[in-house]
């Protein structure tokens, strides 16, 4: 594992105290209107969804946006990040960088009772193809591997933070023999030979200037 380790960002403990914007309150209410399931699953979905929306506000709308939210069965969300995305190198071997990514998150009830494989809950929606990462599937609907396993009850906000870290290459697995797994061998070989290009950005999703005191919402 090659990683530029960052501690769990401060401010996450305040997510429940953030007042959602009217737009986010409306998105949550619309998603909740069709919500199904047996208690306590609906309440858990609401809590996880609210925290995801609050995380977007804490990060700022120019950095993260929850674009779609569905709570009918599983919790499903699409999230946009203003993060650099490594694309397949051109014919000369030069790496291409595209700014911005949309990540799909699926949070099923089963995660509350059993751990799931690290690639089970997040995928790269946009760019649709061509992202070039060792821990990202190379086919359309690229699955994102956030580790060997996702623990029981992992919060949705941790999935969002993990997706940012993977795309920014702040955390990356290059060893094909490791249990966390390499999903794209060509990308692993490229990054093994170009470690000096990692990470693509050192900025965390939650910037320090947004953390002290009462979170600012945008």
Q: Which residues pair with 102 in a beta bridge?
A: 80, 126
Residue 107: phi, psi to the nearest 5?
A: -120, 95
Residue 180: phi, psi to the nearest 5?
A: -70, -25
pLDDT, position 175: 72
Q: Which long-range contacts (CB under 8 A, 24 or more apart) does 11-17 make?
A: 11/58, 11/206, 11/210, 11/211, 11/215, 12/55, 12/157, 12/206, 14/58, 14/215, 15/50, 15/51, 15/54, 15/55, 15/58, 15/157, 16/50, 16/51, 16/54, 17/215
Show the low-confidence residues of the chain (pLDDT under 70): 1-10, 140, 176-181, 209-218
pLDDT, position 178: 62
Q: Which residue has 């089963």 as its token pair?
A: 110
pLDDT, position 210: 58
Contact (CB, 8 A) for 180 and 174: no
pLDDT, position 173: 76
Spell out a b/e string for 104-122, using b for 16 or more CB atoms within 10 Å of the CB, else e: bbbbeeebeeeeeebbbbb
pLDDT tens across 51-108, in order?
Answer: 999 999 999 999 999 999 999 999 999 999 999 999 999 988 889 999 999 999 999 9
Task: Transcribe 61-122 into DSSP letters.
Answer: TTTEEEEEEE-SSSEEEEEEEEEEEEE---TT---EEEEEEEEEEEE-GGGGTS-EETTSSE
User: What 8-state DSSP symbol labels residue 33?
Assistant: T
Cite the DSSP H helix spans in 33-154.
Answer: 41-59
pLDDT, position 14: 85
pLDDT, position 7: 45
Tally Cβ neighbours within 10 Å of residue 64.
22
Q: Which uninterrupted H or E stretch holds 158?
A: helix 156-167
Contact (CB, 8 A) for 101 and 136: no
Cα gap 132→166, rounded to integer Å:
11
Cite the DSSP H helix spans in 16-155.
Answer: 22-32, 41-59
pLDDT, position 148: 87
pLDDT, position 214: 39
DSSP reduced 3-state for 27: helix
């Amino acid at each position: 594992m090659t990683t530029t380790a960052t501690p769990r960002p401060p401010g996450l403990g305040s997510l429940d105290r953030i007042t959602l914007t009217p737009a986010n309150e409306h998105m949550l209410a619309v998603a909740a209107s069709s919500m199904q399931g047996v208690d306590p699953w609906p309440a858990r979905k609401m809590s996880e969804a609210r925290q995801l929306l609050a995380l977007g506000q804490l990060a700022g709308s120019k950095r993260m946006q929850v674009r779609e939210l569905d709570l009918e069965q599983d919790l499903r969300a699409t999230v946009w990040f203003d993060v650099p995305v490594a694309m397949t190198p051109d014919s000369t071997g030069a790496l291409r960088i595209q700014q911005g990514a949309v990540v799909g998150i699926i949070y099923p009830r089963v995660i509350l009772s059993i751990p799931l494989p690290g690639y089970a809950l997040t995928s790269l929606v946009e760019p649709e193809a061509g992202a070039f990462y060792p821990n990202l599937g190379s086919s359309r609907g690229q699955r994102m591997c956030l580790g060997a396993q996702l623990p029981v009850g992992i919060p949705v906000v941790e999935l969002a933070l993990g997706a940012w870290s993977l795309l920014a290459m702040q955390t990356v697995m290059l060893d094909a023999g490791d249990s966390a797994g390499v999903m794209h061998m060509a990308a692993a070989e490229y990054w093994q030979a170009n470690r000096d290009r990692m990470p693509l950005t050192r900025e965390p999703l939650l910037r320090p200037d947004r953390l002290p005191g009462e979170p600012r919402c945008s």
